[in-house]
Structure 1
Amino acid sequence: MRKTYLAAILAGLTLSGAALAQQTATEAPTQAAATTQQSAVDLSDANLLKFSVAMDSIQKVGAEYESKFQAAETPEQAQQVQQEAQAEMVKAVEAAGLTADEYNAIAQQAQQDEALRNKILAMAKTPASNKG
């Protein structure tokens, strides 16, 4: 079950990170820019907790919009649903106290750093009443 949970979290990081990157960036960052962004990210416990809260919210938004996306009858409708979901994801990140860029930077760092990923997963397992 732990592996399933980890896989779900990583999928959420990848999907939500990609969605937010698409929402906030007009072009893909170069590897050098991504590296600079990652090294400048604040990985304090406070920001990681905000990230964990945002990640939970993004997963809920994704689940909410998944059926709407699948029900779309045309590519245009599907794109509209995707844009709405992305806007809601950005709102969720901002409500947690991070910018979309900060969220994306932490997500990218977590994909590359197992210790950081495990720390975030541990925070995600804490009861919601202890978050933010």
Structure 2
Amino acid sequence: MKKLLPTLIASALFASTAATAAPLMQQSAQQGQAMQQQQAQIKMTDALLKKFLAAMNQVQQVSQKYSKQFQNAENAEQAQTIQQKAQEEMIAAVNNAGLSAEEYNAVIQQVQQDPELQKRLQEMTEQS
């Protein structure tokens, strides 16, 4: 179980990057700066982290669901269609867990930068 959390976080990072890459690329530099400030202000409560863990598990399931289809795509157009469906489902999974894509990404960024937060998430995972 101890090795599971880093794997889940890596999967979540990959999935969330794929899920939010297009909208984020369309933002202006000013919007990007505002988003970074908002992410820094998010308080990591147990409730938020529980939502994050639920979202992360759902995102991972969606990623696994579409991974093989994506690898077996016959052409770039088909791969793009599969990726778009996966992104939509990932965003829906995050939203269904009670988070926005921005909040989800903010948690991922903070987890990557904060060993104490990693430990806290690990403990929450082991308790569930």
**Interval containing the TM-score (normalised by the shorter chain):** 0.7 to 0.9
TM-score for the superposition, normalised by structure 2: 0.84
Deviations 1:30-57 (A, max 9, x none): 8855641331223111011000000000
How high is the sequence identity, in percent, across the aligned residues?
A: 39
Residues 28 and 22 (structure 1), Cα distance of their counterparts in 2 relative to 1, 3 Å cut: farther
Mark the runs of 5 or more structure 1 residues left unpaired by the alignment. 128-132
SS in 2 for 1:79: helix
What is aligned with 2:10? 11
Structure 1 stretch displaced more, 30-39 or 80-89: 30-39
Deviations 1:53-92 (A, max 9, x none): 0000000001100111011000111111111101000000
Mark the runs of 5 or more structure 2 residues left unpaired by the alignment. none
Q: Which amino acid aligns with 2:2?
A: R
What is the aligned residue count? Answer: 126
Residues 37 and 48 (structure 1), Cα distance of their counterparts in 2 relative to 1, 3 Å cut: same
Following the alignment from structure 2 to structure 1, what is the Cα–Cα distance between the partners of residues 100 and 56?
Answer: 13
What is aligned with 2:21? 22
Following the alignment from structure 1 to structure 2, what is the Cα–Cα distance between the partners of residues 28 and 119?
Answer: 34
Following the alignment from structure 2 to structure 1, what is the Cα–Cα distance between the partners of residues 21 and 74?
Answer: 23
Residues 17 and 118 (structure 1), Cα distance of their counterparts in 2 relative to 1, 3 Å cut: farther
